[in-house]
Structures are given as C-alpha cells and as structure tokens.
Amino acid sequence: MAKKIVDKEELKKLKEKSGGFVSEFKEFVLRGNVMDMAVGVIIGGAFSNIVTALTTDFINPLINGIGGAEIGGSIKIYGGQRILYGDFITSVINFIIMAFVLFMILKVCNKIVSVGKKKEEEKKEAPKKSDETVLLEEIRDLLKKQK
C-alpha cells in the first residue's frame, strides 16, 4: 500500500495547532504578570545580597560587640565536623529582615489598591433618599393602588 500524502488542509491544521501553541506561549510570556514576576525575582535577588551584606557586615559585629557573643562561631562535633551555628543565625536574621520588608511592601500595595476600591464603592452607592422623598413615594404608591 502507498502512504497517504498529507493534503493541504491537514497541513494547514497542523500549522494552526503548532502556531496556536507558540502564539499562546508568546502571549503568556509577554503578559504583564509574568514580566512583573521576572522583574520581582531579579530585584529580590539583588535585595537579598544587600540584606546579607547588612547582616554579615553590620548586625553581626554589633551583636558581637554588645553581647560578647561570637555570631560566626561553630561547635566541634565528632569526626572533626563542625556545626556552623553562626551561619544559621545569620540566615535566620536575613530571613526575618526579608520577610519584614516584603510584609511592609505588600501592606503599602494593599493600601494603595484599597484606596482605589473605596473611591469606586463610594461612586456606586446610590444617594440616600430624604424622609420627604420616601414619604412622597409611599403616597404615590398608595394613590396607584386606589385607582
């Protein structure tokens, strides 16, 4: 038997399927959320280096000077191995600083977003009717019922 040759319509459908995938991927990548996330990751990496430098070069020496404790210390255990508790404490301090900064950023962003929503809600609320208007509407409804 001879192989079936793909006709033009089937070829067109295959191109549309693959082109649809590529265009869908392009749309996904170029969407604002993905680009914002990429920028956030890059800035987060740079900020992480700043926080690490702050902790290592500023906070740890202050703690060493004030409390007399050695932050960069280690404990010797069996087999010549060491537990580097100072590195762990530094990492915990880094995490706390990063978490606090992210919390503050999100708090400010949420406040900014909520300000915009409050203005929209104020616009959506119908003006309250005065007592006279409510009374006149009731009288109108009663008159309609009598007819």
DSSP collapsed to 3 states, the chain: CCCCCCCHHHHHHHHHHHHHHHHHHHHHHHCHHHHHHHHHHHHHHHHHHHHHHHHHHHHHHHHHHHHCCCCCCCEECHHHCEECHHHHHHHHHHHHHHHHHHHHHHHHHHHHHHHHHHHHHHHHCCCCCCHHHHHHHHHHHHHHHHC
Q: How many structural domains compose the chain?
A: 1
Domain assignment present for residue 61? The answer is yes
CATH number of the structural domain spanning residue 40: 1.10.1200.120
Check pLDDT > 60 for residue 4.
no
Is 136 among the domain residues?
no
- Let me know if residue 145 belongs to a domain: no
Examine residue 95 and state whether it is found in any structural domain, yes or no: yes
Task: Kindly report, residue by residue over 58-77, the tens digit of the pLDDT.
Answer: 877 777 776 666 666 777 88
Residue 52, pLDDT > 80, answer yes
User: Which structural domain range is residue 49 located in?
Assistant: 12-115
Q: What mean pLDDT value characterizes the chain?
A: 76
Q: Would 1 be classed as within a structural domain?
A: no
